[in-house]
Structure 1
């Protein structure tokens, strides 16, 4: 248990969030935990807020592979990533203390745009036209052209991310025990010149996936990693693969992925 005693807390910087962060820190200190202002010294990284705050906490701390992540919901409603409630911090401290603590692993996708450094996504990567017109992408699987897409954009999601942006545009919800990722269209246009599958499709994590933007004047698409827009100005090629890295969270009793999906959506 001693390797789970140093805690870094991530929160927004508004007055209410900082006040609640202070109260969470006091509760954890009272239970014998140590707070650290440097996320690199932490064994557990806790986000306060919503699932969006959890995504930001994971991204801002570099998708650490040697620590656990946990999310505290401030709304009273649990999320996909926020397993604990602000009004029941005792449950969290006792769960962390358990010697036989079980760990849940969420898969990541790795994305490389042109010559930029690769980055990771826990939910999804999206690419969209940034002007009021469609754009054209070549969709390449294992170095072979699969289709030429004309439309507003594409979403490439992880299994856990399948419940987010992907689900809102009728993509499938995917069990995170499957090593895969999903490709979902945004307003595709099918005509005599351009033809796409017309539905989302799920790919094995062993596949190589690539997008090439047609250089026809609309070469400045909006690209986003999870809930954060990226400041990459021009895009020619995007390579995406399922990463070997995962995000580790606390696994709770009666709180499996499908129990969460049922609780949130049904």
Structure 2
């Protein structure tokens, strides 16, 4: 099996990377950073997001698996002491996968140009020095005018990340949906928003149109932050593409949630 490794830049992660690379090659796997079949992330969820974006153009052809070397991450479910078992699974090509939905962003600019992005966790839209004011339309129909600090649009797997910190719901990734969660919305006698997170199914999209021609910051997966000017609209939907994660052993979603947020950390 062709493999690549992405490791966090710390001594423990680098050491595990070197050991894993040597063991897999010794067992007949091929190191291929250009066209891997499986990508092993060593670190935490941030390292996994980095790996995802590094191989975004090949997302439908790759499988991701994570070893955590710090606090237990939501995506990295193998521990360093379990590396021998993971190596055996990879070398035997005993590969079962689960698929998670992705968020697609389509950005149209006033000059007619266009940009498209994919996110594994979420995107956020914030203004710099003033309240963000934008019209939201769902399936082409006007829904509300949002006023506040910003908006977070998340995937089901990303619902446990920044979305959860904002008070959004945790969503099982078997549901192909996106979630819209507000950041400090303004609600008074003059201005109103829905004031609660909303789930949109795959066949629905939300279009976000800035009311005023302001500069704002769009961040996706906390991995890349872009200052946007002259944006006409941002359309968010469930992508037709999905990301695959290796599941060499059973690790149900709600067990993963409990391990990440409720269980005591194991040393």
Q: So what's the TM-score if we normalise by structure 1?
A: 0.90
Following superposition, the deviation at residue 154 of structure 1 comes to: 0.5
2:226 to 223, 231, 235: 231
Which residues of structure 1 form unaligned runs of 5+?
Answer: none
Contact 1:222–1:229 under 8 Å retained in 2: no
| Structure 1 partner of 2:119 | 121
| Structure 2 partner of 1:167 | 164
Does residue 134 in structure 1 map to residue 128 in structure 2?
A: no
Name the Cα RMSD after superposition.
Answer: 1.8
Following superposition, the deviation at residue 245 of structure 1 comes to: 0.7
Does residue 82 in structure 1 map to residue 76 in structure 2?
A: yes
Deviates more, 1:15-24 or 1:223-232: 15-24
Q: Partners in 1 of 2:114 and 2:11 — Cα distance?
A: 36
Contact 1:182–1:202 under 8 Å retained in 2: yes
Does residue 45 in structure 1 map to residue 39 in structure 2?
A: yes
Does residue 110 in structure 1 map to residue 104 in structure 2?
A: yes
Aligned length: 256
Following superposition, the deviation at residue 187 of structure 1 comes to: 0.2
Q: Partners in 2 of 1:43 and 1:53 — Cα distance?
A: 18
Higher strand share: 2
| Structure 2 partner of 1:211 | 208
Deviates more, 1:55-64 or 1:226-235: 226-235
Deviates more, 1:240-249 or 1:22-31: 22-31
Q: Partners in 2 of 1:101 and 1:23 — Cα distance?
A: 21
1:1-266 equivalences under 5 Å are: 5-13=1-9, 17-38=13-34, 41-62=35-56, 64-75=59-70, 77-97=71-91, 101-114=95-108, 115-131=113-129, 133-215=130-212, 219-234=214-229, 235-266=231-262
Q: Decide whether aligned partners of structure 1 residues 88 and 99 sit closer, same or farther in structure 2, where only a CA change above 3 A counts.
A: closer
Deviates more, 1:229-238 or 1:147-156: 229-238
Q: So what's the TM-score if we normalise by structure 2?
A: 0.89
